[in-house]
Amino acid sequence: MKAENHKMSNVLVTGATGFIGRALCAKLLAEGAQTRAAVWREEPAGSIQAGLDVVPIDSIGPDTDWNRALAGIDAVIHLAARVHVMDEKAEEPLAAYRRVNVAGTERLARMAAANGVKRLIFMSSVKVHGEETPVRYTEHDIPAPLDPYGVSKLEAEDILRKIAAKTGLEVVVIRPPLVYGPGVKANFYKLMGIVARGLPLPFGSVNNARSLIYLGNLIDAVILCSRHPSAAGQTFLISDGENVSTPELIRRIAAALGKPARLFPFPPEIMRFAGKLTGRASAVDRLLGSLAVDDSKIRKELGWKPPFTMTEGLKETAEWYDRVKKMP
Q: Is the pLDDT of residue 87 over 80?
A: no
Q: Is the pLDDT of residue 2 over 50?
A: no
Select 10-175's CATH number: 3.30.479.20, 3.40.50.300, 3.40.50.720, 3.20.20.150.
Answer: 3.40.50.720
Which of 17-26, 168-177, 266-275 is the most confident on average?
168-177
Element (H, E) at 213: strand 212-214
* Nearest of 1, 13, 236, 226 to residue 121 by alpha carbon: 226
Q: What confidence category does residue 3 fall into, taking pLDDT thresholds of 50, 70 and 90? A: very low
Residues 271-311: tens digit of each pLDDT: 888 888 888 888 888 889 899 999 999 999 999 999 999 99
Average pLDDT of every residue of the chain: 91
Q: Is the pLDDT of residue 9 over 90?
A: no
pLDDT of residue 91: 67
**Same fold? 10-175, 185-211+241-293+301-328:** no
Q: Hey, is 304 helix, strand or coil?
A: coil
pLDDT of residue 90: 63
Mean pLDDT of the 135-153 span: 92
pLDDT of residue 44: 64
Q: What confidence category does residue 81 fall into, taking pLDDT thresholds of 50, 70 and 90? A: very high
| Catalytic residue positions, numbered | 149
In three-state form (DSSP H/G/I as H, E/B as E, the rest C), the secondary structure along 35-102 is EEEEEECCCCHHHCCCCCEEEEECCCCCCCCCHHHHCCCCEEEECCCCCCCCCCCCCCHHHHHHHHHH
Mean pLDDT of the 185-192 span: 92
% of the chain exceeding 70 in pLDDT: 93
Distance CA 17, CA 265 (A): 40
Mean pLDDT of the 235-245 span: 97
* Nearest of 247, 188, 177 to residue 213 by alpha carbon: 177
For the chain, how big is the Rg over CA atoms in Å? 20
Does residue 242 or residue 44 have the better pLDDT?
242
Q: Domain boundaries in the chain?
A: 10-175, 185-211+241-293+301-328
CATH class of 185-211+241-293+301-328: alpha beta
Q: Is the pLDDT of residue 70 over 80?
A: yes
Distance CA 271, CA 246 (A): 14
pLDDT of residue 7: 61
Q: pTM score, two decimals? A: 0.92
